Amino acid sequence: MPRQAYDQALAIAPDALRAPWTRRARDAVLLILALAALVGMAIDLELAPGALMTGFGKLGRFLGEMVPPSSGGQSVRILKALAETFAMAFAGTVIAAVVALPLGVIGAKTVVANPALHFAFRRFLDIFRGVPALVWALILVSAFGLGPFAGVVALALADIPNLAKLFSEALENSDPKPIEGVRSAGASPLAVMRFGLAPQFAPVATSQTLFFLEGNFRNAGVLGIVGAGGIGFELDERIRIFAFDEVAFIILLYMVAVACLDTLSRALRNRLA
């Protein structure tokens, strides 16, 4: 832009081409403060650059050892652990869905009309929604002993509040017209549920449950770290002894299994939709 035209434009509208200096100064100060806060946090956490460098060196060595992946002659055991992981995910999801269904009904605005009760119940579910499955698994393993049972319960506990919330939303969003239609034909309450509500609710609920099954299969893979069975246990063991070729083998196998389940579940969900 020619200098003259630029000066003219600036004279006519000083704020059009650049923000007023007060705002620029404020933005700069805020940016510096934010950066300072981040640096302060890093110092507080004692994140040392030296540790970072040596760590990357080690990580590079680990990654190098990962090629070529090797089953270490234990592929049967690993496959069994993979099956156990899926079993944990499946059982946990089914239990979560069964428990979440009545909770979802109670949580639906259309069922429990009292706003205070509705609010209290939803908040109660919200409290537990953030707790990760691993946090549940840690204490459950201590209570129930090593093994997949703790994992199943941990997955179910982590899912129940989330699924209940989704179920109640699905119930709230169902169209009242088919329900009224069935009722006006003189149907019993059970028949109203079966022919008015279920055809709307069941596909949505099933598809959400399948979605949680996918998530649980991912989560189940790590629960073994705290002793809750499955592939995570095998993985943890091998990381501890730095057998990274076997680690890579397990991770690859597991990721392929995750991808397979995701594809299958997506196909099922598409059929439902």
Partner 1 sequence: MTTAIETFERDRRRMLIRQRSQAALGLAIFTILLLVSFQRSQFFGSDIGGDPLGRMADFLQRMNPGLKPELLLEDRQTRGSLHSWFYALPIWLRAAWQTVEMAILATALGSVLALGASFLTAQNLMPFAPVRFVVRRILEAIRTLPDLIMALILVAAFGVGPLAGVLTLTISTLGGLGKLFAEINEEIDPRQLEALQAAGAGPLKKIRYGVMPQVLPNYASYALIRLEGNLAGAAALGIVGAGGIGLELQRSITYTEFDTYLAILLIIIAMIFLIDLFSEAVRHRLIGLEKA
Q: List residues near partner 1 by CB under 8 A.
A: 38, 41-42, 44-48, 51-52, 55-56, 58-59, 62, 83-84, 86-88, 90-91, 94, 126-128, 130-132, 134-135, 138-140, 142-145, 147-149, 151-153, 218-219, 221-222, 225-226, 229, 232, 235-236, 239-240, 242, 247, 251, 255, 258-259
Closest approach, Cβ 126 to partner 1, in A, equals 8
Is 105 or 225 the residue whose CB approaches partner 1 more closely? Answer: 225
CB of residue 231 to partner 1, shortest distance in Å: 9
Give min distance, CB of 92 to partner 1, in A: 8
Distances (CA, A) of 126 to 59, 111, 159, 163, 192: 38, 19, 12, 11, 30
Closer CB to partner 1, 25 or 38, in the complex: 38
Nearest approach, Cβ of residue 38 and partner 1 (Å): 6
- Dihedral angle computed from the Cα positions of residues 73, 77, 81 and 84, in that order, rounded to the nearest 10 degrees: 150
> Is 25 or 56 the residue whose CB approaches partner 1 more closely?
56
Instruction: Round to whole Å and give the CA distance between 129 and 96.
Output: 13
| In the complex, least distance from residue 180 CB atom to partner 1, rounded to whole angstroms | 26
Nearer to partner 1, 90 or 106 (CB): 90
Identify which of residues 147 and 181 has a Cβ nearer to partner 1 in the complex: 147
Cβ 241 to partner 1, closest distance in Å? 10
Instruction: Between 13 and 113, name the residue whose CB sits nearer to partner 1.
Output: 13
CB of 129 to partner 1, least distance (A): 9
Tokens representing residue 35 in the block: 């950066």
Q: How far is 85 from 148, CA to CA, in rounded Å?
A: 8
Which burial class, exposed, middle or buried, applies to 65 when counting CB atoms under 10 A from its CB (0-12, 13-18, 19+)? middle
Min CB(167)–partner 1 separation in Å: 19
Choose among 113, 121, 104: nearest CA to 165. 104
Q: Are 254 and 231 in contact (CB under 8 A)?
A: yes
C-alpha 45/C-alpha 33 separation (Å) is: 18
Q: Which is nearer to partner 1, 59 or 191 (CB)?
A: 59
Residue 174 or 209 with smaller CB distance to partner 1: 209
